[in-house]
Structure 1
Amino acid sequence: MERESMEFDVVIVGAGPAGLSAACRLMQQAQEAQQELMVCVVEKGSEVGAHILSGAVFEPRALNELFPDWQKKQAPLNVEVQQDQIYLLKNQHTATRLPNFATPKSMHNKGNYIVSMGNVCRWLAEQAEQLGVEIFPGFAAAEVLYNEDGSVGGIITGDMGVDANGQPKDSFMPGMELKAKYTIFAEGCRGHLGKQLIEKYQLDKNAEPQHYGIGFKEIWDIPAEKHQPGLVIHTGGWPLTDANGGGYLYHAENNQVLVGLIVDLNYANPHLSPFDEFQQLKHHPVFSQYLEGGTRVSYGARAIAKGGLNSLVKTTMPGAMLVGCNAGTLNFAKIKGNHTAMKSGMLAAETIFNAIKDEKVSADLTEFEDTFKQSWLYDDLYRARNFGAAMHKWGSILGGAFNTIEQNWFGGKSPFHLTDNSVDYKQLKKASECNKINYPKPDGKLSFDKLSSVFISNTNHEEDQPCHLRLKDNLIPVSQNLPLYDEPAQRYCPAGVYEIVEENNQPQLQINAQNCIHCKTCDIKDPSQNINWIVPEGAGGPNYPNM
């Protein structure tokens, strides 16, 4: 197919904190060196921020470096953390508040801010454009473009206007080739091109398997008398009796709270529904005291890469780099990945700019490894290296005790090095070996069903387009996953995408791809690794206003 092409010095895939920070840092260096540089950012969401979902308590360390005058530039960091409260939920009624000395210092948030990362990214995009970056929202990076020598030479954006059978419609517009000296992949957790590159270049051969969680988030308007701006609440324990993870509730601005739950995706019971675990959580008094009388205004979910330093892949390959959660830079000890994603993008930008200045094109910038190890990003991740493995090995209570001692007594630099070579999807047991879980029906006040939740995520896909949830083998869901695991896709998907329906008295898997909120959980948790998530037509998916 004949495709139009455009050439840039650097193409960045993804307008999240990592990609936008890389773009800004590239242009800052170009201005300092009085060198012309052409940088573009491709974003699959309908606008910058449309696909951004994060808690988020934000550590401003990387932002302080990138834009020291961010307050003058009116960055949307408006609510500084005033108080941390951490609870162990014993059951659906009771909880114990843990004193600060009994919790890891990494979870103390003095000096941090409660933010909407969607709005922070919109602000970063404004700074990038003022610096001369071109940003293309609504265009999905569908393929990696390779040079003849096997190096990465850019990306190809997805074709627009293709029907469900793969045939061009009247509105057909072929994707473009965006060629670059270097390409930065900042797609977020489990990026679909990042996954291909990791496999092609064996970037994970020296890393432990990546570990994942699914993070839920809702925004609520609550009565003014219940609102305490700057209050940060974290919880462990109930309702997660069959999984690791924890809940959160952050008091943001404008009488809003941000409430959510992270569920580790190494759980064993296929009957578990992370969505329903989250809906139960809101009925606990620690949460309901603030939510009762309030109104839910937004919902979303997203997978997070939580393996940390031990699971970090090699980030460089000929002509390209992986940054942020695409590489796995989240610091799970802090439950934070935004400052680390930003710093990884900034470090990548500095390495690439030096290469372009030295007229090195499409090289494997292995010197980045030394740059990374000399940075505070490496130190940040090193101190957190045992956190997730301890929780997986010993559970929330014993693992939490180990983490408290390691973080508070040893500053994250104990002589121990815990490993976790398990693979999340392989932990699933047969349905016949596990207890069924009967979740209470949602009450429509604090808890809700999946479809009403997807509705307020503003998710939309053009219905007449190829399904972006590809099965490697169409028979596996019914022939293997259903008899062995009661087809867990029905439950681990937070958007009702996968259903078992009867056709001619035979069970079939129905894929409601238009519901997909791009969380990537199916790509991660499917026990047969039979689902491949690829990008749909550009601008499809959720349209989060300020998540």
Structure 2
Amino acid sequence: MTEIERESMEYDVVIVGAGPAGLSAAIRLKELDPDLSVVVLEKGSEVGAHILSGAVLDPVGLETLFPDWKERGAPVAVPVKEDNFVFLGESGKVRFPNWLMPPLMNNHGNYIVSMGNVCRWLAEQAEELGVEIFPGMACSQLVWGEDGAVKGVVAGEFGKNADGTPGPAYEPGMELHGKYVFLGEGVRGSLSRQVIEKFALSEGREPQKFGIGMKEVWEIDPAKHCEGTVTHTMGWPLNNNAGGGSFIYHAENNQIFLGFVVHLNYENPHLYPYMEFQRFKHHPIVADLLKGGKRIAYGARAISEGGYQSVPKAAFPGGVLLGCSAGLVNVARIKGNHNAMLSGIEAAKAAVAALKSGRAGDVLEDYDAALHEGGIAKDLKRVRNVKPLWSRYGTALATALGGFDMWMANLTGWNPFGTLSHRKNDAQSTGKARDFPKIDYPRPDGVISFDRLTNVSFSMTNHEESQPCHLKLADPRVPVAVNLPEFDEPAQRYCPAGVYEVVQEEGEEARFVINFQNCVHCKTCDIKDPSQNITWTTPQGGDGPNYPNM
């Protein structure tokens, strides 16, 4: 096969991903040195199209970036006024007194936001500073220098046939070279995964852990809307079948952000995270809130939950990992955007210092030190045992033990449990189907609960069908030959978009079908497949969900 020839462009810094981390890095780079050439490449059709987050924003990152963010008109306008922590039974609830919660769990001073809209605003600020931003430009490959360092990325490749060969309208894309390359792809990014493996960045760290977060935006009856109210729940319907819980955030314009998170280390392969979310909405306190309202958007994404002990070395030859690519979510606080922004700021500082001293393409050790020893580390260290305690002891006991550990860390700076391990990754946590009962899920009613494909239509997802499938199977035989008999092929259930099906016509053998057009880019399959047989790669630029204000 003839090697593809591509034009190239040179920049000081190439940033992959126009999320809070990548945009914060771009802004701070230009603030520190306006003469730097900085480009941001975004795979979504526009900035914000692939951004999905809760979100209650701790403004510390925003304030570090722009102390005058209010005067600048940032779309951060709903302060948290009421904070609720609730344990659900099937038909009742118990509210935890706020005084019981460690101070770090207090949301007062934080804001309910659409991170998609925040990122759109950040992009405007970046462009005013001279940052070049190109949406619809998926980065499909890394470009390597002769010394083995990351030199750049390939972006904007379009028009391949389904078999991977160039089609009649093929565009090879361009190589964008940078003295440093920042990877801010979000959770389980395809390029980030490659550099983590190539440079053994996770060596000596605990395995990363993940959750699947599903979110709907609802317009509700104004009489039931309480702008600024934040509610988090645990318990029903998951109980001890899996870790997780919900969030209900009353945003502006009579909208609520309704979300449900299932930790992906669950054992029962019959568990169906999406249907747990739909069942949750029939709890009396939620059903009453939604009555008379309408769902206007849906989406899903994976969440990094491993915490401090799972953060890899974040600097590698030629670049760095930013934000969720490095796993900087504080799982106890259900927040990661502030750390993502702070990571971008720290990476910019380290890169500018290196460039001013004449360096390029080396390891930004100062950035890695800042990440593991500075404010982000302090934020993550205090809660580092919450996830492993939950995994070991279930919701009820872990809540008590984790609360004690966080209180002691808050009061003394010391975690009584030390640093607990995660033991194994989420794929390895999946048990055999024969060892667990099947779960009977009620049929969605079409009023407040919905089937997956109907909900996916509210994510405005679209993929060009003639392109190669971006969900790669290492061995196409595994889903039917191994996963189906051993695990009842859990891809049918763990995917929140109905991408995977096992189809069996009468008299024929079962077939594994991948409906990649439905993919919302959550990357759960890359994480949870028990045979670790699926690799998520980026489709062509602009494809995927088109979230409005997630």
C-alpha distance in 1, partners of 2:487/2:235? 25
Partner of 2:251: 252
* TM norm structure 2: 0.97
More off after superposition, 141-150 vs 377-386 = 377-386
Cα pair 1:143 1:158 within 8 Å, conserved: no
Partner of 1:101: 99
Q: Does 1:203 align with 2:201?
A: yes
Output one character per residue of 1:429-476: Cα deviation in whole Å (capped at 9) or x when no partner. Answer: 111111001100000111000000110100000011100001000100
User: What does 1:433-512 align with in structure 2 at a 5 Å threshold?
Assistant: 433-502=435-504, 505-512=508-515
C-alpha distance in 1, partners of 2:293/2:187? 32
Q: Does 1:536 align with 2:535?
A: no
* Aligned-CA RMSD value: 1.1
User: What does 1:128-277 align with in structure 2 at a 5 Å threshold?
Assistant: 128-241=126-239, 242-277=241-276
C-alpha distance in 1, partners of 2:372/2:243? 30
Output one character per residue of 1:52-82: Cα deviation in whole Å (capped at 9) or x when no partner. Answer: 0000000000110100010011000010000
TM-superposed CA distance for 1:374, in Å, is 4.7
Matching residue's letter, 1:73 = R
Matching residue's letter, 2:81 = Q
Partner of 1:387: 386
Matching residue's letter, 2:449 = S
TM-superposed CA distance for 1:406, in Å, is 2.3
Partner of 1:330: 329
Partner of 2:16: 13
Cα pair 2:408 2:416 within 8 Å, conserved: no
Q: 1:112 aligns with which of 110, 122, 125?
A: 110
3-state secondary structure, aligned to 1:203: coil
Partner of 2:288: 289
Cα pair 2:88 2:234 within 8 Å, conserved: yes
TM-superposed CA distance for 1:101, in Å, is 2.4
Matching residue's letter, 1:143 = Q
TM-superposed CA distance for 1:168, in Å, is 2.5
Cα pair 1:105 1:404 within 8 Å, conserved: no
Cα pair 2:40 2:131 within 8 Å, conserved: yes
TM-superposed CA distance for 1:401, in Å, is 0.8
Partner of 1:527: 530
Cα pair 1:105 1:407 within 8 Å, conserved: no
More off after superposition, 47-56 vs 382-391 = 382-391
Partner of 2:417: 416
Cα pair 1:298 1:457 within 8 Å, conserved: yes
Partner of 2:68: 69
User: What does 1:337-416 align with in structure 2 at a 5 Å threshold?
Assistant: 337-411=336-410, 413-416=414-417
More off after superposition, 431-440 vs 164-173 = 164-173
3-state secondary structure, aligned to 1:259: strand
TM-superposed CA distance for 1:169, in Å, is 2.6
C-alpha distance in 1, partners of 2:87/2:222? 27
Q: Does 1:2 align with 2:5?
A: yes
C-alpha distance in 2, partners of 1:371/1:455? 42
C-alpha distance in 2, partners of 1:142/1:158? 8
C-alpha distance in 1, partners of 2:519/2:361? 35
TM-superposed CA distance for 1:299, in Å, is 0.2
3-state secondary structure, aligned to 1:426: coil
3-state secondary structure, aligned to 2:428: helix
TM-superposed CA distance for 1:398, in Å, is 1.1
Structure 2 unaligned regions, length at least 5: none
Q: 2:516 aligns with which of 503, 513, 516?
A: 513
Identity among equivalent positions (%) equals 53
* TM norm structure 1: 0.98
Structure 1 unaligned regions, length at least 5: none
3-state secondary structure, aligned to 1:506: coil
C-alpha distance in 1, partners of 2:366/2:226? 47
TM-superposed CA distance for 1:403, in Å, is 1.9
Cα pair 1:19 1:184 within 8 Å, conserved: yes
More off after superposition, 388-397 vs 165-174 = 165-174
C-alpha distance in 1, partners of 2:320/2:415? 31
More off after superposition, 322-331 vs 412-421 = 412-421
Cα pair 1:104 1:403 within 8 Å, conserved: no
Matching residue's letter, 1:170 = P
C-alpha distance in 2, partners of 1:113/1:289? 25
C-alpha distance in 2, partners of 1:255/1:62? 27
Partner of 1:39: 38
Cα pair 2:405 2:416 within 8 Å, conserved: no
Matching residue's letter, 1:324 = G
Matching residue's letter, 2:511 = Q
Partner of 2:89: 90
Matching residue's letter, 1:54 = S
Closer, same or farther: CA 102–71 of 1 in aligned 2, 3 Å: same
Cα pair 1:42 1:141 within 8 Å, conserved: yes
3-state secondary structure, aligned to 2:9: strand
Closer, same or farther: CA 499–481 of 1 in aligned 2, 3 Å: same
C-alpha distance in 1, partners of 2:465/2:430? 33
Cα pair 2:408 2:414 within 8 Å, conserved: no
Matching residue's letter, 1:437 = I
Cα pair 1:107 1:335 within 8 Å, conserved: no
More off after superposition, 328-337 vs 413-422 = 413-422
3-state secondary structure, aligned to 1:367: helix
3-state secondary structure, aligned to 2:46: coil
- Count of aligned pairs between the two proteins: 542
Cα pair 1:317 1:363 within 8 Å, conserved: yes
C-alpha distance in 2, partners of 1:373/1:471? 35
Cα pair 2:267 2:429 within 8 Å, conserved: yes
C-alpha distance in 2, partners of 1:166/1:403? 49
C-alpha distance in 2, partners of 1:449/1:82? 34
Matching residue's letter, 1:539 = G
